[in-house]
Amino acid sequence: MMTHAYSESYLSNAKDRLSSFFDYTINDCKLAPDWVTALFVNTGYAEQFERGNPAYVAGMSGVELARAVITKAYGKKNLPAPTNVEDCSPEYWAGWALAEYQWSRCRRFKDIFERIPLTNIIEMYPAYHEMDITAFIDAMDGFYKAAEGDSNLKRIRENRGLSQSELAQRSGVNLRNIQMYEQRVNSIDRAQAHILYKLSRVLGCDVEDLLEDPMT
């Protein structure tokens, strides 16, 4: 059973904030959708949001969150006033649906966007916005699984230009263990903390980046 990062009582607030966040940054500030998600993740606000920090999921509006993200990324800027429209834009819907998906599946925004860009989620609007949210969640699960490919450990190791043997030698982690983690025969999410620490130090990444489901 999944342990959600925050109570379901906050979910309605989170959906409202994220929907307004995307609608404002994309439609009013004219930022590209996938650039918005990069800013959201790289400024650290995505992590605070997905962990249910009440200051962000309930304490500020989506527009205030957007302005905080943009200010942290670029410094103080003269930002436009939000456009108040009655109709739900595709970007607004994408934020609403994505907040539900992230909460229900306990996945990091970073991991979701690496596999399913926000541009693709927005394009789901015509087919899914009138369906029950479970249809969207099922579709997202399918896209996520199809995009998983190699394990995080293998992907990061290869990006660093290391063979399995070199990683084993430098980290002190048994070669067979590394092979089993990369093949998902053994779950790296259940690896002992000292093994994860050794691997992450050699690979120059966070421990969470090696995990398949870091929020579960």
- Give 158-198 pLDDT, tens digit per residue: 989 999 999 999 999 999 999 999 988 899 999 999 999 99
Q: How many CA atoms within 13 Å lie on the side-chain side of 147?
A: 14
**Token pair listed for 147:** 């995009």
pLDDT digit string (tens) for 65-97? Answer: 999 999 999 997 889 999 876 668 999 999 999
Three-state secondary-structure class, residue 20: helix
Answer whether 128's CB lies under 8 Å from 163's CB. no
> Which residues have CB under 8 Å from 54's CB, separation 6+?
10
Q: Is the entire prediction scored with pTM above 0.85? A: no
**Distances 134 to 96, 109, 119, 126 between C-alpha atoms, Å:** 13, 19, 20, 16
- Domains of the chain plus CATH, in order, are 8-148 (no CATH), 152-210 (1.10.260.40)
Answer whether 128's CB lies under 8 Å from 134's CB. no
